[in-house]
Amino acid sequence: MIFIIHKSDIFTTLSIEKDIDITMSFKILYVAATRPEGDTLKKFREIMSHNDRLDGFEMNLLITGVGSIATSWALKQWITLNGKPDLAINAGIAGSFNDRLNVGDVVMPVSDCFADAGIEDGENFRTLSESGLISANDFPYKDGLLYADTMYNEKMKSILVPVRAITVNTATGSEATMGKLLKKFNPDIETMEGATFFYICSRENIPFLALRAISNKVEPRNKNNWNIDLALNNLSEKLIDVILTL
């Protein structure tokens, strides 16, 4: 197992290596917005030396920064400098619109979109495709949505709940915004980076998978109801199952 950690803002690299043939490894890029989200790899590192099934994986960690702009720059820069990985995994926390999802649940986004990219017309909001600025089926969109890699979705559906995601620039924190998003998109979760990851991996033809742990319900902002520690701990545990299922 090889671990390579990249921090996008200063481009420092830390490598922890075992004596294996790198040319035979399966290169995974683990993309997270923040350091605590990236630290969900720690348990995976701990079990690495005790599980022969993990030999042959090269795990690269990229901390992008929060939001679509930071994610797009960091991810494209990493690909330019390092080449395409065999698999990209986007992991982190998310807010849930769905009452059937509990704080701490780990889910698998299978569709995503840029929910606040469009045109406001009075009280109405139209997406870019609804406004005629792009076609709803221009690659990589299908009916205005971005879809995750089918092969990896199929592999993981026995251990992960598939969900519909939206990506926003402003995290939802009011009843009014929540109502508009539910009416327009009927999402299960929201993040601030997911659709960017979907878009770039699709355009670059990189197989990819997304994992999100529910840290809070989408509601009028109340951080007393959040449990980021539980979400990240559960994400760390589920990551091990995911890698062993590959």
* Cα Rg of the chain, angstroms: 18
Q: How large is the average pLDDT for residues 127-137?
A: 92
pLDDT classification of 11: cutoffs 50, 70, 90: very low
CATH code for position 196:
3.40.50.1580
Are the CB atoms for 46 and 237 separated by under 8 Å?
A: no
Please tell me the total count of domains within the chain: 1
Average pLDDT of the chain to the nearest whole number: 88
Inform me whether the pLDDT recorded for 8 exceeds 60.
no
Helix, strand, coil percentages for the chain (3-state, nearest 5)? 35, 30, 35
Q: What is the pLDDT at residue 9?
A: 43
Question: Under DSSP, is residue 208 helix (H, G, I), strand (E, B) or coil?
Answer: strand
Residue-wise pLDDT for 171-180, tens only, equals 999 999 999 9
**Which stretches does DSSP call E strand in the chain?**
2-7, 13-17, 26-32, 57-63, 87-96, 106-112, 118-121, 124-127, 146-147, 161-167, 189-191, 208-217
pLDDT classification of 59: cutoffs 50, 70, 90: confident
- Boundaries of domain holding 40: 2-245
Q: Which residue has the higher pLDDT, 54 or 229?
A: 229
| Structural element, H or E, at residue 65 | none
Q: What is the number of other CB atoms lying within 10 angstroms of the CB of residue 29?
A: 25
Q: What is the pLDDT at residue 123?
A: 84
pLDDT classification of 48: cutoffs 50, 70, 90: low
User: Which token pair is 124?
Assistant: 């109405």
Q: How large is the average pLDDT for residues 201-205?
A: 96
Are the CB atoms for 111 and 234 separated by under 8 Å?
A: no
